[in-house]
Amino acid sequence: MSMPGGYMGKVLFVDLTSNAYEERALTEDIYREFIGGYGLGVRVLYERMKAGVDPLGPQNILGFVAGTLTGTKCHGAGRFNVVAKSPLTNGWGDSSCGGNFGPVLKSTGYDGVFITGRAKKPVYLWITDGAVEIRDAGHLWGKDSSEAEDIIKREVDSGAAVALIGQAGENLSKIAAIMHDYGRAAGRSGLGAVMGSKLLKAVAVKGGRQVPVADEYAYRAVLARMGEDIKTRTRLANNIGKLGTVGIYLKNITIQDAPIQNWKGIAEEVYPLEKASNLGGDVYLQYMKRKYACAQCAIVCGAILEMKEADGKTYLTHRPEYETVAAFGSMCLVDDPETVIKVNELCNRCGFDTISAGATVAFAMECYEKGLITEKDTDGLSLEWGNKDAVIPLIEMMRDRKGIGALLADGVKAAAEKIGQAAEEFAIHVGGQELGMHDPRCWPGFGYGYVLDPTPGRHTTGGVGFIEHGWSDKELAQFGLDDLGSKKYDYNSKGKPLAILNKWFQFFNSAGMCLFTKFGYNHYPLLEAFQAVTGWKDFDLEEALVAGERINTLRHCFNLREGLEPQTFRLPPRAQGIPPLKAGPTAGVTIDIETVRRSYYQEMEWDLTTGLPSPRKLETLNLAGLVSDLKSYRGVN
């Protein structure tokens, strides 16, 4: 039977312990049910990995998986996912990344590569058309990600795409990222530590195969529609195209969306607009050397900046994203742009998730304020709020696990457990993962994602928060979701729209799509593109939502099998508004997550006490056989 378009038809399994690899063909049913990206990733990991494995042990499986539309000409479909059991949450871990690694991976003939075992010494993978090499990386170990990427490209091919770790991943920091293209990051879930635990420095890929398209005529028609839509793209797309994501920073400060002073501060009192303006989007234009785009993107939100060192030498670096600027800016009360640019470059090179790293610095500053950390602990480094001179040295200590950095290198949850109970009150995380830089007191929808997604603390999941902004989702017009913004504090009406949006986002993400494409086009014809590329003409919105629900439910079941209790995850009191802020745009707001959780679990048919999906739901989603071991792990008769 011929394979559908959009897929290469096989994945690669590499065992670093035995230095062996094998290809496995996948059936059309698996592709159609799990789409690609982390959907395909969770299908492979759940089946092939036992519960209870050490996230930093050889039995954990690390996967790099491309989306269905990745590698085609569909605009904005250039992303790939990294998947594994997360050392940060001890549950399901996935992270999304742009750049060009995803399309190049598919050009080697594989939809994904899954890596087990642990090498005897540092290695990197070199994957080309039908050939796999496990190469020595001893000369790369200890080098930062940019240095190592340069060396690898000289050794294999200048056109190779490389995903790799820096020193943070080598040192098994649980907030370590996997880097690509000198500044693109698969940042969340601590998957850089998984890579480091396997002594795997990098995965380099280059091939010459084309992603097949089933219906070229329909495909060209869809691309033409996309091209016309690009000409009249939304204001969001224009703003991000000019200033990058940091273009939203000042607005988010004004409305108290960006968290202030480790989530406790009020912008107008401790971080007024005159300070925040020093980090606004226009500020970075003075440093801009050129703009760039990820693969298959017409929005072009990236930029390369040219910076000067103290000795007058110049270097090129990526413009920091909004999440990075908020994490090291408003969270720490820092307002110096060059400090934020430099710490962004440092995190890119050593491989830190900038959300978690910035949140950890803010947490350390509050510990210092409260006397739980002193200058004796920091080797004389003053961690006063707003001290720009402390940020880079602290990140360097975290990178090297030296001094106070050893305490902080695994994020706020681990640090607070070591410091003691008083610190746990202001260690802001859900399930071990630091929250994205969007305040639920401003947009409750982000809070639902932080608590209810199988990868907690994530701002790019769920979807209600984006619709609350007033953005529309025309693919889902029949469900009447556009009024969510006017009802953002109405918690009784959220279960059903949240379920619909979660299902859609799982399909959207697994197809390889960039979030900005979703809201940057007046109408992105995703289903039409998916049908044309795959040839599945009968694949409609209903099937897309079922596939998304299947993916989301299996990610949830992965957590349940690991012994987690996601039904008990809670927002930290500060982020929930307990007690509420006394001033500012969100004064008096307390979020009611539990009402939303109850109605959402009812829509998903998940038991509120055990977290288990109903037997009927598992049968409907064709998951009953795959998760038949779940009850034994959960102690359910």
Same domain, 246 and 334: yes
Report in angstroms the alpha-carbon separations of 130 from 11, 107, 126, 127: 11, 11, 11, 8
Domain count, the chain: 3
- Transcribe 94-132 into DSSP letters: EEEE-TTHHHHHHHTT-SEEEEES--SS-EEEEEETTEE
Same domain, 336 and 366: yes
Whether residue 501 is contained in a domain is answered as: yes
Tens of pLDDT, residues 137-146:
999 999 999 9
Tokens of 199: 């002594």
Whether residue 31 is contained in a domain is answered as: yes
Angle at the Cα of 605 (from 601 to 610), degrees rounded to 5? 70
Tens of pLDDT, residues 298-325:
889 999 999 988 888 899 999 999 999 9
Reported as a pLDDT band with limits 50, 70 and 90, residue 447 is very high
Whether residue 511 is contained in a domain is answered as: yes
Domain termination site, one of 205, 227, 258: 205
- Give the position of tokens 């299947």: 550
Q: For 278, which DSSP code?
A: G
Tens of pLDDT, residues 570-593:
999 999 999 999 999 999 999 999
- 242, burial (CB in 10 Å: exposed 0-12, middle 13-18, buried 19+): middle
Question: Residue 636 above 50 pLDDT?
Answer: no
Same domain, 193 and 313: no
Tens of pLDDT, residues 474-494:
788 888 888 888 899 999 989
Distance of CA 179 to the CA centre of its chain: 12
* pLDDT in the model for residue 634: 57
Whether residue 38 is contained in a domain is answered as: yes
* pLDDT in the model for residue 482: 81
Q: Which letter, b or e, does each residue of 252-277 get, where b requires 16 or more Cβ atoms within 10 Å of its Cβ?
A: bbeebbbbbbbbebbbeeebeeebbe
Same domain, 333 and 364: yes
* pLDDT in the model for residue 556: 98
Same domain, 78 and 191: yes
Average pLDDT over residues 277-294: 96
Whether the CB-CB separation of 526 and 475 falls below 8 Å is answered with yes
Report in angstroms the alpha-carbon separations of 517 from 74, 457, 503: 10, 22, 18
Cα distance between residue 196 and residue 122, in whole Å: 9
On the question of a cis peptide bond just before residue 87, with omega within 30 degrees of 0, the verdict is: no
Whether residue 518 is contained in a domain is answered as: yes
* pLDDT in the model for residue 637: 41
Whether residue 360 is contained in a domain is answered as: yes
The CA R_g of the chain, rounded to the nearest whole Å, is: 23
Q: Which letter, b or e, does each residue of 439-476 get, where b requires 16 or more Cβ atoms within 10 Å of its Cβ?
A: bbbbbbbbbbbbbbbbbbbbbbbbbbbbbbbebbbebb
Reported as a pLDDT band with limits 50, 70 and 90, residue 238 is confident
* pLDDT in the model for residue 524: 85
Same domain, 474 and 554: yes
Q: Which residues form the domain of 574?
A: 444-634
Q: What is the three-class DSSP state of 352?
A: strand
Question: Residue 415 above 60 pLDDT?
Answer: yes
Same domain, 533 and 568: yes
Same domain, 562 and 456: yes
Average pLDDT over residues 625-631: 89
Same domain, 449 and 421: no
Tens of pLDDT, residues 26-53:
999 999 999 999 999 999 999 999 999 9
Q: Is 611 left (phi over 0), alpha (psi -120 to 50) or beta?
A: left
Q: What is the three-class DSSP state of 543?
A: helix
Same domain, 295 and 416: yes
* pLDDT in the model for residue 239: 86
Reported as a pLDDT band with limits 50, 70 and 90, residue 506 is very high
CB-facing half-sphere around the CA of 249: CA atoms within 13 A: 33
Angle at the Cα of 90 (from 89 to 93), degrees rounded to 5? 70
Q: Name 443's Cβ contacts closer than 8 Å, sequence gap at least 6.
A: 257, 465, 468, 469, 488
* Average pLDDT in the chain: 95
Whether the CB-CB separation of 614 and 627 falls below 8 Å is answered with no
Same domain, 487 and 591: yes
Whether residue 439 is contained in a domain is answered as: no
Question: Residue 268 above 80 pLDDT?
Answer: yes
Question: Residue 293 above 60 pLDDT?
Answer: yes
Cα distance between residue 422 and residue 320, in whole Å: 33
Backbone torsions φ then ψ of 164, nearest 5 degrees: -160, 170
Whether residue 375 is contained in a domain is answered as: yes
Tens of pLDDT, residues 37-95:
999 999 999 999 999 999 999 999 999 999 999 999 999 999 999 999 999 999 999 99
Backbone torsions φ then ψ of 295, nearest 5 degrees: -55, 140
Tens of pLDDT, residues 588-620:
999 999 999 999 999 999 999 999 999 999 999
Question: Residue 1 above 70 pLDDT?
Answer: no
CATH number at 394 reads: 1.10.569.10
* Nearest partner of 96 among 163, 172, 11, judged by Cα: 163
Give the count of beta carbons closer than 10 Å to the beta carbon of residue 18: 9
At position 132, the amino acid (one-letter code) is V
Question: Residue 439 above 60 pLDDT?
Answer: yes
* pLDDT in the model for residue 163: 98
* pLDDT in the model for residue 495: 93
Average pLDDT over residues 538-547: 97
Lowest average pLDDT, out of 187-201, 224-238, 344-358, goes to 224-238
* pLDDT in the model for residue 437: 97
Residues in the chain: 637
* pLDDT in the model for residue 602: 97
More confident residue, 144 or 637: 144
* Nearest partner of 440 among 324, 269, 578, judged by Cα: 578
Lowest average pLDDT, out of 198-202, 315-319, 459-463, 499-503, goes to 459-463
Same domain, 404 and 450: no
pTM flag (> 0.95): yes
CATH number at 612 reads: 1.10.599.10
